Amino acid sequence: MSKDSSSKDIIWKNPDDYYKENIHWGPIWSIFLTVLIYFVSQIITIFILSLIFHFMHWSSKKSNDWLSSSVVGQFFSVLLVEFLSLGTIYAFLRWKKTSFKKIGLVKINLKDVFTALTGFLIYMVSFYSLALILGALIKSFNINQEQNVGFQSVNGNFGLILAFISLVVLPPIAEEIIFRGYLFSGLRTKMKFIYAAILTSLIFALPHLIESKDGGILWIAGLDTFILSMVSSALREKTRSLWSSILLHSFKNGVAFVGLFLIH
């Protein structure tokens, strides 16, 4: 088998061999860089935007209002964060003399769509079942707690398009590449699937706990993203591709988008 051959062309009898053959970093690098990307990309985005505001002679109030209320401002913030995050992963992969292809960004096919739809059904049933059970058993577990996704004042088709790209297109691509591509794959070089999936899902869910509108811990979003990640990790393991998990993530965000912006 030549080095240029796609890993999907090989029938791996043992899934562990797939990761050991294609992934050249382990759990420590995976966790370190993933956490670093989350914090540093946000900090650099704030720094870059602050420089732009400074040269435009904007006041702090005007800058903050633009970032919190303007759809264009929020769109560019999301775009810059995702660009910096994926740029960091790209640089790391180049350093390791490998590519996005090795972490699952291979050619998409029609089967990925049907696999994603199956995964979406499993995710929906699992999430709503567990949410109802936990809501009934734990009084403090508020299943109706609202998540702060930004884009509080979206007006017109142009605003909807930017919000759609920012919520339904960009995050699924970037987050699946980072978490189910880079992080999960690195963990799988040393861990069995279930342990790698659980750790990936915990790391993925943690930042979502602080996205509550009322400032409290958003347990329902933590549960939501944990289950989404577990199903996405299973799709990544099964297909050796990221496309089914990207599509699953996009379907999930798309349903939320419709509920937030199109159904009144």
Q: How far apart are the first and last CA of the chain?
A: 56
pLDDT tens profile 126-139: 999 999 999 999 98
Q: What is the pLDDT of residue 92?
A: 97
More confident residue, 242 or 144: 242
Q: Are 131 and 227 in contact (CB under 8 A)?
A: no
Phi and psi torsions of 212, nearest 5°: -80, 145
Of the listed ranges 2-16, 83-97, 100-114, the one predicted with least confidence: 2-16
126 CB-near residues (< 8 Å, 6+ apart): 227, 231
Q: What is the pLDDT of residue 9?
A: 46
Q: What is the pLDDT of residue 62?
A: 92
pLDDT tens profile 213-253: 666 789 999 999 999 999 999 999 999 999 999 999 999 99
Q: What is the pLDDT of residue 76?
A: 94
Residue 155 in 3-state DSSP? coil
Instruction: Return the H-helix or E-strand segment holding 230.
Output: helix 219-239
Instruction: Give the model's confidence band at 7: pLDDT under 50 very low, under 70 low, under 90 confident, else very high.
Output: very low
Instruction: Give the model's confidence band at 3: pLDDT under 50 very low, under 70 low, under 90 confident, else very high.
Output: very low
Residue 4 in 3-state DSSP? coil
Domain boundaries, the chain: 20-262
Helix axes 243-257, 110-137, angle to 10 degrees: 50
pLDDT tens profile 30-58: 999 999 999 999 999 999 999 999 999 99
Q: What is the pLDDT of residue 2?
A: 40
Q: What is the pLDDT of residue 12?
A: 57
Q: What is the pLDDT of residue 149?
A: 78
Of the listed ranges 54-68, 82-96, 193-207, the one predicted with least confidence: 54-68
Contacts 24+ apart (CB under 8 A), 26-30: 26/186, 26/189, 26/190, 27/186, 27/187, 27/189, 27/190, 27/191, 29/186, 30/182, 30/183, 30/184, 30/185, 30/186, 30/187
Q: What is the pLDDT of residue 13?
A: 60
The whole-number average pLDDT for the span 99-120 is: 96
pLDDT tens profile 77-95: 999 999 999 999 999 999 9
Q: What is the pTM of this model?
A: 0.91
CA angle 196, 30, 186 (to 5 degrees): 50
Q: What is the pLDDT of residue 264?
A: 60
The whole-number average pLDDT for the span 189-199 is: 97
